[in-house]
Chains A and B, each alone.
Chain A
Amino acid sequence: MPTTSIGEIEEPLKSRRRIKMEWKWLAVFGVYSLVMLIIGIKGYDRTEDRAGFAVAGRRLSTPYAVATWLATFQSGVAVVGFTGFTSLYGYSFITYLTIPIAIVTVIFTLLASKLSKLNVYTVPEIIEQRYGDYKLRLFSTIAIIFLSGVAVTIQLYSAGLVLEAVTGVPLIWSIIMVGLVLTVYVVLGGMTSVVKTDMIQAICMGVGVLVITFMIINKVGLDLFVVPETMGVFSGPVEGGWVLAFAWIFVWVPGVMAQSIYLQRFYSVPDKYVARKMAAYGGTLTALFYTCVLIIGLGAFHLLPPGSLGDLAYPTLLQSELGGIIGAVGLILLIASIQSSVDSLLNIMGTYAAEDIYAKLGPEKTSESILRFARFATLAFGILTIIMAIAMSLRDLPLIAQLQSLSQGLMGATILLPLYIGLFWKKATKIGTYAAMLGGLTTTVIFYILKSNNIVSVFHESFPGLIVATILFFSVSLLTKTNDVEKKNFHNFV
């Protein structure tokens, strides 16, 4: 999952910065990066046209589809943030996070056939094909590129922080090293390279998380199964219960379903059969991954002093408890999880800029010129996000960190309904879509500001945003008549 704030690890990690270079850790990172570069560059040979860059030529076999699904689903937050959460609150991780993700898995499996048949290059393309309006597509494109850019910036920054803490390489150089490697292979091979590296990253993550889990079980033993009072299924920073668990479903499910990095995978498979297996088995591996994360977090609770729990738990485990080869495995697990989601986001930014903006400007473009522009845009966005991440390290940019927590909610409250309901409901109209997008956006931002200033107390700002968007989408669509273009598009496209 690419979102959730990582800001909390910033201060503790900064205060633990090492001055001494740790060459063995740096060598581990160097070897890993070299392997990624070689595999990624190989993707260049198979990227002959726009389809190769945007959707890996729609050739993904089931093993690659499942691996890319697993790898994209995990980010640095899944490793550092979720281990931290489970080290503090234990089993509530299952109730508040993994059950909603399992629900998403079931929904995606059911929708896989429909989503894989659309034959598009981008998510905003669906909006235009369905409602016959380019402005709606452009609005979605700009929103997706902007929010992806924010997510890439923050993840590069947090990757830099971890790499600096472990290797001793100054933060700016750590950010540049992580960012450059993935920018190079995404520029060259687009989605084809992303998928190839995802396979290796998924293997690294799978092996890594299993090895560390085994070590934790070995070290802690049966104590792992002792459940302290603060680690039950409803534990957390606020008092919870089934109502809160239910409320989280309404934040996670729309938030994940509206993310382009997952949807893009449905456009990259050859048919519905692979699409269904990708969602189901990718979701299953994600579930197993989260179960390991839970065990690692519980182990951290038993092994580390209370001051090292939370977001510091994973880096501290790596340095103090595991060390040696296991520590190296832990570092690779973390870097692989960050790169596998950041490369997908960067690919989305370059592809969408080319397909949804450049290809629509002026006279019709050839596949080669769209591919060239996609590579150029990816390079530009890669450099820009590296600069932004460096800027974050030099001075506080609180706005960016805040924007990240807003982004998932915003996507859910704006494009979710027009995208999914529009595929099934023929009465959905362009005007209804405008109303839902603008209403959802405005309400989410207003509630975010009110919540930040403690004027209202709301569970999550996307909650009222989604409610307003739902009411507007259905009521305005019913009040406005579907025109001939919309009717034709529904039958031809869907």
Chain B
Amino acid sequence: MERGSRMEGSIIIAFGIFYGLIITSITLAHYLNWRDRRTSQIKEEN
């Protein structure tokens, strides 16, 4: 297979999936922590 052909495209897709999942986990961790902190804050205020 030549350089610049479909193979390089598939490498970019594989890296995209890999780092996409990693970014998802960081986003999830921060979102869930923010949500839970806010919930407990609201509970305390009430």
Contact = CB atoms under 8 A, between A and B. Distances in A.
Interface of A: 91, 94-95, 98-99, 102-103, 105-106, 108-110, 112-113, 226-227, 229, 232-234, 272-273, 276-277, 279-281, 283-284, 287
B19 A287 contact: yes
A277 B7 contact: no
Contacts of B11: 91, 94, 227, 232-233
Nearest to B11: A91
A339 B25 CA distance: 27
A283 B17 contact: no
28 contacts: A91-B14, A94-B14, A94-B15, A94-B18, A98-B18, A99-B14, A102-B18, A102-B19, A102-B21, A105-B25, A109-B32, A110-B32, A112-B29, A226-B3, A229-B1, A229-B7, A232-B1, A232-B10, A233-B10, A233-B11, A233-B13, A272-B33, A273-B37, A276-B32, A281-B29, A283-B22, A284-B25, A284-B26
A281 B18 contact: no
A287 B14 contact: no
Nearest to A107: B25
Contacts of A234: 10
Interface residues of B, number: 24
Most A-side CB within 10 Å, residue of B13, B29, B32? B29
Contacts of A281: 26, 29
Given A233-B10, A233-B11, A280-B29, 9 more contacts: A91-B14, A94-B18, A102-B25, A105-B22, A109-B28, A232-B7, A233-B7, A273-B36, A276-B33
Contacts of A109: 25, 28-29, 32
Contacts of B19: 102, 287
A226 B8 CA distance: 9
A91 B1 CA distance: 14
B46 interface: no
A393 to B, nearest CB: 38
B26 A99 contact: no
Closest 6 CB pairs of A and B: A102-B21, A280-B29, A276-B29, A94-B14, A280-B25, A109-B25
A280 B3 CA distance: 35
Nearest to B15: A94
B25 to A, nearest CB: 4
Nearest to B32: A276
- Binding site of A, secondary structure by majority: helix, strand, loop or mixed? helix
Contacts of A105: 21-22, 25
Nearest to B36: A272
Nearest to B5: A227
A108 B11 CA distance: 26
B24 interface: yes
B43 to A, nearest CB: 15
B38 to A, nearest CB: 12
Contacts, number: 81
A456 B36 CA distance: 50
A243 to B, nearest CB: 15
Nearest to B28: A109
B8 A95 contact: no
B10 to A, nearest CB: 5
Nearest to A242: B10
Contacts of A279: 25, 29
A91 B35 CA distance: 38
A102 to B, nearest CB: 4
Contacts of B24: 106
A227 B3 CA distance: 7
B27 to A, nearest CB: 8
Contacts of A232: 1, 7, 10-11
A440 B36 CA distance: 37
A403 B37 CA distance: 45
A114 to B, nearest CB: 11
A358 to B, nearest CB: 37
B17 to A, nearest CB: 6
A191 B4 CA distance: 50
Contacts of B15: 94
Contacts of A233: 7, 10-11, 13-14
Nearest to A103: B21
A433 to B, nearest CB: 29
Nearest to B19: A287
Nearest to A112: B29
Contacts of A287: 18-19, 22
A110 B33 contact: no
